[in-house]
Chains A and B, each alone.
Chain A
Amino acid sequence: MNEQPYKIVFEKLYRDEKIVPPSMKWKTVKFEEYKAIYEESVKDVFSFWQREARNLTWCSTWSKVYDGSSPRATWFKGGKLSAYYNVIGKHRETWIWSKAALIWEGEEGVARAVTYGELDALVDKIAYSMKNNGLKPGEWIIIYSSPTIESIATMLAAVKLGVPFEPVFTGFGFWELARRIKHREPKLVFTSDGFYRRGRIIDVLNTLRKAVEQANYRGQVVVYSRIGAPSLRENEVLFDDFTSTNESTEEYVANSEHPLFGLHSGYRDDYEPITHSTGGFLVQVYSTSRWVGIRPRDTYFCTVWPGWITGVSYLVFGPLMIGSTVLLYDGGPDYPSWDRWWSLIEDYAVTLFLTTGGALRLLSRKGDENVRRHNMDTLKAIIVTAEPLEADIWWWTYRVVGTGYTSFIESIPSQLSGRIPVVNMYIQSEVGTFISGNLVNYTFTPIAPGSSGTPIPGFHVMILSEKGEIGNEGFGEIILLKPWPAMPIEYPPEYAEKWKDNYYRTGDYGYLSREGYLYVLGRTDGVLKTSGYRLSPGAIEKALRQALGLNTLVLPCLDDLKFTSPLLLYSGGSGESEIRELVRKYVGAISEPSLIVNLDQSLLEEYRSKGANLILPSCSKEALRNN
């Protein structure tokens, strides 16, 4: 293995320092206290998660907490529960019912809000119509939309009926969407006619129609009119017409292992479907959401959309299970200027902000003034996820975003001394939730900037060294030594292969310090982590083979802004602009290569033979030559 790229990343991450933010002065635990709780939890993860499972409401309790052997195993076997009750229904008859559940703001500056009670009523209408249209528990729906109240309500309606859903990120092109439609064979697809980006209309419906054609999909398409009044085709119905009745439906009581939702996770050769269960997933997401500090009186702004695991777990399920208010922003961070997110935090009194390392890296380059002209004193924590967070960027976020203007405990606003915790969390689609990171509302140890904190209780994180030895210190592939409740119930062979000798190889390379802080340094399997998105290089290669008959190889290269970026090698006669255009259309703009290099066939095959897992230390021809 070429360790050079990981060393480059490590140098950017690691600093020998620990920080206790002033607001956490009386909440920070001693390292020994954390260790005691953590070790107790991983000594017997089954008892630990069984205790956590009792925080949900079950219609009948489980007979066995864990049955089978990983990867094919069932958590809480025999247990039955209503997922919808545990997410929304439980708030009925409480003060939460009349508070704002979702506040949506469009890029154009208009806002809408629904209380929990109104959200429930909307969900009921959608669920009734779905049921009336023949949807049955276990049949799939797909949601292809920017985040709107209606798209979230449609996910919840599916949850209410026991219908698993897959949200597809609108950054994916028609070809990728078509493949997801083919895989899931949904009975219904929800979409919007479009959304605004930098003032321009993005035509979502047109992309969906191309995908429907490509997939030869004959089911129903429900179109939410977000930007206008679209003229409809056969099998398409407007959301308002679809939900015109006011009937109620019963909540589906599911077995613990009933499918709840799915995503397509990026592997080296393609995106593959994985599905999470009802019981295990909800147990894990409810606990971790509380531990990261989400509370009922929080106004919570998560910039990661459903379509990615963070968005599903920590925009849809976690905060709603807790009863907090979720701010949905349907727009870009740079319109009309680069202070839009800070403005949202100021105007909606946001208390918890979740975003990606890639976004902070970009925003930090846009000048402190964009941040400092906004007062964000309501913030009590900033949660970062999806990719490594360099110590420099952590410090920028801590000082410039996290200090605020009002002194708190020992913070000194004039010196940008920092005030609130900035916590970087490690997550993976297959695990379903955060695995490692400082927990504002549980075992909060001092923050080591650049790290993903300490492993979360219940997740037995270890390191597999190059020599094949398992240890709790040093460099190597990050593994999970014990199973976790949100283990996928449907998965591809690539995931199953990562289970070996009863432990799970995450595919991420990392460093576990002597004190137990985890530093995630990049993928070991050639998968891209681009601006926080986990992308499949093979999917780009497949699209170009399909569209142009091109022979290509996509390698990840270290990128100062995006973490890793696709570097595309090809042989043949096509031009660079044609390739770029096709990648954008077929796979999506998020997969556009940073560098495209035309090579002789033989040289390209030489690179392929070196291993598609190669990470280039920079996105340049020079790096290519030297590797």
Chain B
Amino acid sequence: MPRELSLRGITISRVGLVGVKIQHGDKTYCIDPGSEIEKCYIVLCTHMHVKHCSYEYLSSFKGELLVPSTHAGVEPGGIIQLGDTNILVVPAYSKPELYFEAPPHPKGCCVGYILRFPNNLNIYYMGDTSFIEEILRINEKITILIPPIGGGYVMTPEEALEVVKSLRPAITIPVHYDKVEQYYRFRDIAQPYTQVIKLS
């Protein structure tokens, strides 16, 4: 399977179970990279869970760091300008009614990011979220969608499909799944609406 995908001069590769690295010119944008923060120009954390981001690894990181509730602007609706890239912070949380006990990602703990690169290339990394109503209000043309699909603490393939149907991204790279069957399920139902690609 392909280990990286390039589109309009931007190259995406996966890191661990959930994270991605996005190469734009000489800068690497790392989203939820876990411990793999080498060569990152900026680390964008959707929340501080060890598979996503951890202070243990980030304490020595010298580059730009975005962590919700810690850094200015990293909250839903926030806009951060980094060189020629504009980052829109969007909500991400677990819907309480879907969980018997406390939701794993309560509202306010987490965010998603829409990275708006030049050439109208918008990448939406959703973070750990349910299919929440705020997603329907996103008024951006998404080029590449990176949704979690593994169910449990995040969306199921069927819920991620609702996002695809709503946003109609050109390409979708699913992340955050343990079993390849979850990829198959998502791929089979989402393919008519987007180009699904499995990155290794």
Contact = CB atoms under 8 A, between A and B. Distances in A.
B105 interface: no
Given A325-B195, A346-B198, A98 B141 contact: yes
B170 A100 contact: yes
B188 A378 contact: yes
B170 A109 contact: no
A377 B191 CA distance: 11
A349 interface: yes
Contact of A100 (B141, B168, B184, B195): B195
B5 A111 contact: yes
A103 B1 contact: no
B191 A299 contact: yes
A372 interface: no
Interface in B49-69: none
Contact of B195 (A95, A118, A349): A349
B140 to A, nearest CB: 13
Nearest to B190: A349
A110 B141 contact: no
Given A100-B195, A348-B197, A375-B184, A113 B1 contact: no
Contacts of B188: 349, 377-378, 406
A380 to B, nearest CB: 10
A105 interface: yes
Given A325-B195, A347-B198, A349-B195, A111 B184 contact: no
Nearest to B181: A375
Interface in B137-188: 141, 143, 168, 170-171, 180, 184, 187-188
Contacts of A113: 5-7, 170-171, 195, 197
B25 interface: no
B71 interface: no
Interface string A94-111: 010011100101000111
A150 to B, nearest CB: 13
A95 B3 CA distance: 28
Given A112-B5, A299-B195, A98 B184 contact: no
Main secondary structure of the interface of B (DSSP, over half): loop
A297 interface: yes
Given A111-B197, A377-B184, A349 B5 contact: no
Interface string A310-353: 00000000000000010000000000000000010011110100
B195 A99 contact: yes
A105 to B, nearest CB: 6
Contacts of B197: 103, 111, 113, 347-349
Interface in A267-313: 297, 299
B183 to A, nearest CB: 9
B6 A111 contact: yes
Nearest to A116: B170
Contacts of B6: 110-113
Nearest to B195: A100
A225 interface: no
B171 A111 contact: no
A347 B171 contact: no
A249 interface: no
Interface centre among A99, A105, A113, by most chain B C-beta atoms within 10 angstroms, is: A113
A349 B196 contact: yes
B3 A109 contact: yes
A378 B4 contact: no
Given A110-B4, A118-B8, A378 B171 contact: no
Contacts of B2: 105, 109-111, 347
Residue picked from B8, B168, B192, B195, most chain A C-beta under 10 Å = B195
A349 B187 contact: yes
A351 B191 contact: yes
A349 B192 CA distance: 10
A98 B194 CA distance: 11
A599 B194 CA distance: 61
Contacts of B191: 297, 299, 349, 351, 378
Nearest to B12: A111
A115 interface: yes
A109 B1 CA distance: 7
A622 to B, nearest CB: 47
B196 A110 contact: no
A342 to B, nearest CB: 11
B149 to A, nearest CB: 14
Interface in A375-392: 375, 377-378
A114 interface: yes
Contacts of B1: 109, 343, 346-347
A323 to B, nearest CB: 13
B195 A98 contact: no
A110 B198 contact: no
A98 B5 contact: no
A111 B4 contact: yes
B4 A114 contact: no
Contacts of A103: 195, 197
Interface in B90-126: none
Nearest to A351: B191
Contacts of A378: 187-188, 191
A115 B4 CA distance: 17
Contacts of B7: 112-114
A102 to B, nearest CB: 11
A135 B180 CA distance: 51
Contacts of A348: 195-198
Given A347-B198, A349-B191, A377-B188, 15 more contacts: A109-B1, A110-B5, A111-B5, A113-B6, A113-B171, A114-B7, A299-B191, A299-B195, A346-B1, A347-B197, A348-B195, A349-B195, A349-B197, A378-B187, A406-B188
8 contacts: A109-B3, A110-B4, A112-B5, A113-B170, A115-B143, A347-B197, A377-B184, A378-B191
Interface of B: 1-8, 141, 143, 168, 170-171, 180, 184, 187-188, 191-192, 195-198, 200
6 residue pairs, one from A and one from B, having the closest CB atoms: A111-B2, A349-B191, A347-B198, A112-B6, A347-B1, A349-B196
